[in-house]
Amino acid sequence: MEVRLESSWKELLKDEFEKSYFKDLAEFVRQEYQSGTVYPPPKFIFNALDSLPVDQVKVIILGQDPYHGPGQAHGLSFSVPDGIKPPPSLQNIYKEIETDLGHPHHASGNLDRWVKQGVLLLNATLTVRANQAGSHQNKGWETFTDAIIHELANKKDHLVFILWGNYAQKKGSFIDPNKHLVLKSPHPSPFSAHSGFFDSRPFSQTNRYLIELGQTPIEW
């Protein structure tokens, strides 16, 4: 697997790339791309990291799997490329932004504009077989993305971690809430959004925290 990665991440994670689990993962992923359809396209596997240097990260939103439908996944959790209809979870995220901040939602589901402002959109698993949700879980990606979260949580101060749903909350359970702002709510999926995601107001809470730190708030 070609690790196309912005230099600060390459330095931060250099030890991970040498571990046996990552070498096994790389071989598994290489074979998967050769033998069938896998998302996202290879150049976007590390898009979340490659698009945002470590020192610019202010907010982390954890997802689970890439989207597994054609044209949807491009390496940013919850995001889809321009021209692709926003999936239901993202539609609900947009509804919450409108309620929380009074902003009309964007027509595009491409969240690259958030990344440019310091939002790391990180999935726990960075690849998936077409039309097979969860097909690349428990192959090593979770260990790799755990390492990313540990490095950020331990080496940086005053980050915002947005953990939607039980999976993300379990993955981020070690994060020190006295050192960082940790926002938890149900997942924005249609199956759970009405159980507490709506009216959780993560976007205004994030911006208040950033402003208190003297940082520029996110234009959601």
What pLDDT score does 146 carry?
97
5-211: CATH superfamily? Uracil-DNA glycosylase-like domain (3.40.470.10)
Q: Residue 60, SS3?
A: strand
Query: Strand order of the sheet with strand 59-63?
Result: 119-123, 59-63, 160-164, 181-185
Alpha-helix residue ranges (DSSP H) falling in the chain? 7-12, 14-17, 20-35, 47-50, 88-101, 112-115, 141-155, 165-171, 202-212
- Rounded Cα distance between 89 and 91, Å, is 5
Tokens 């890439």 belong to residue: 66
Sign of the CA dihedral running 92, 82, 51, 105 = negative
What pLDDT score does 64 carry?
95
Sign of the CA dihedral running 41, 78, 102, 84 = positive
Answer yes or no: are the C-beta atoms of 31 and 37 closer than 8 Å. no
| pTM across the whole model | 0.96
Question: Is 112 in the active site?
Answer: no
Catalytic residue among 65, 146, 157, 199: 65
- Rounded Cα distance between 92 and 99, Å, is 11
- Rounded Cα distance between 80 and 74, Å, is 6
**Residue 97 parent element (H or E):** helix 88-101
Residues 6+ apart with CB under 8 A from 98: 104, 105
What pLDDT score does 88 carry?
96
What's the DSSP call for residue 55?
G
Tokens 């940013």 belong to residue: 76
What pLDDT score does 214 carry?
97
**Angle, alpha carbons 203-105-184 (nearest 5°):** 25
Phi and psi dihedrals of 74, rounded to 5? -140, 30
What pLDDT score does 42 carry?
94
- Mean pLDDT, each 10-residue run in order, the chain (220 residues): 80 94 96 97 96 97 96 98 96 97 90 98 97 96 97 97 96 96 97 96 98 97
What pLDDT score does 3 carry?
66
The token duo for 157 is 């101060």
Instruction: Spell out the domain ranges in the chain.
Output: 5-211
Class of residue 20 by CB neighbours under 10 A (exposed 0-12, middle 13-18, buried 19+): exposed
Residues 6+ apart with CB under 8 A from 147: 13, 16
